[in-house]
């Protein structure tokens, strides 16, 4: 899937071949969304049942949600919202900000990692630099195939 991308953000050192976007947002993070949803459900149940203990638990869940919001926001700033493939390199972007760029000549491997049911791909350079590719990226199988082809790795 090739899209137009801001040339300075994508890197002027090569032609843009493809852009793979991450359509999720910070509030889609389970560490925030699940406590928020639980707060609403338990709070509503407490109001309907008129039970102070249930409402107190909803208050606890609201506090957990409030504590998790800044953690999720800080970690979101380092999450790629797009992966750009150019003729010269792979670049991870967060909005207009470049997070990391790896030239194809430096890419040594593409590995699959599964942690607690989440699949993540790691593009690693010879010098140890890495770009993590989350499962939410559009056309992830196509992205992995293109990276392997452009970097000449399997």
- Model pLDDT for residues 95-121, shown as the tens digit of each residue: 999 999 999 999 999 999 988 778 889
Does the structure show a pLDDT above 70 at 71? yes
Q: Give the residue with greater pLDDT, 11 vs 55.
A: 55
DSSP state of 32: H
Partners of 20 in the beta sheet?
Answer: 83
Name 94's Cβ contacts closer than 8 Å, sequence gap at least 6. 77, 78, 79, 80, 81
Could you tell me if 92 and 107 are in contact, meaning their C-beta atoms sit under 8 angstroms apart? Answer: no
Percentage of the residues of the chain whose pLDDT score is greater than 90:
69
- Model pLDDT for residues 20-59, shown as the tens digit of each residue: 999 988 878 788 899 999 999 999 999 999 999 999 999 9
Q: What's the CATH fold of domain 7-22+81-151? A: PH-domain like (2.30.29)
What is the rounded CA–CA span in Å between residue 97 and residue 18?
Answer: 17
Strand, coil or helix: what is 106? helix
pLDDT band (50, 70, 90) for residue 14: low
Partners of 77 in the beta sheet?
Answer: none
Total-model pTM: 0.74
Report the side by side order of strands in the sheet with 130-134: 107-115, 118-125, 130-134
pLDDT of residue 147: 96
Q: Average pLDDT in the 118-146 region?
A: 92
Parse the chain into domains and list their residue ranges.
7-22+81-151, 27-76
Handedness of CA 11, 16, 17, 22 (dihedral sign): positive
Q: Give the residue with greater pLDDT, 58 vs 152.
A: 58
DSSP state of 16: E
Q: Give the residue with greater pLDDT, 154 vs 17.
A: 17
């Amino acid at each position: 899937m090739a899209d137009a991308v801001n040339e300075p953000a994508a890197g002027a050192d090569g032609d843009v071949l493809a852009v793979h976007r991450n359509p999720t947002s910070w509030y889609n993070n389970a560490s925030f969304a699940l406590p928020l949803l639980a707060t609403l459900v338990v709070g509503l149940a407490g109001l309907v049942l008129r039970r102070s203990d249930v409402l107190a638990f909803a208050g606890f869940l609201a506090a957990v949600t409030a504590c998790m919001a800044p953690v999720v926001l800080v970690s979101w700033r380092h999450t790629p919202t797009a992966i750009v493939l150019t003729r010269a390199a792979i670049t991870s972007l967060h909005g207009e900000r470049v997070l990391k760029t790896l030239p194809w000549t430096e890419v040594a491997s593409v590995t699959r990692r599964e942690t607690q049911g989440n699949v993540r791909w790691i593009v690693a350079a010879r010098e140890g630099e890495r770009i993590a590719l989350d499962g939410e990226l559009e056309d992830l199988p196509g992205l992995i195939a293109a990276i392997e082809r452009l970097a000449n790795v399997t």
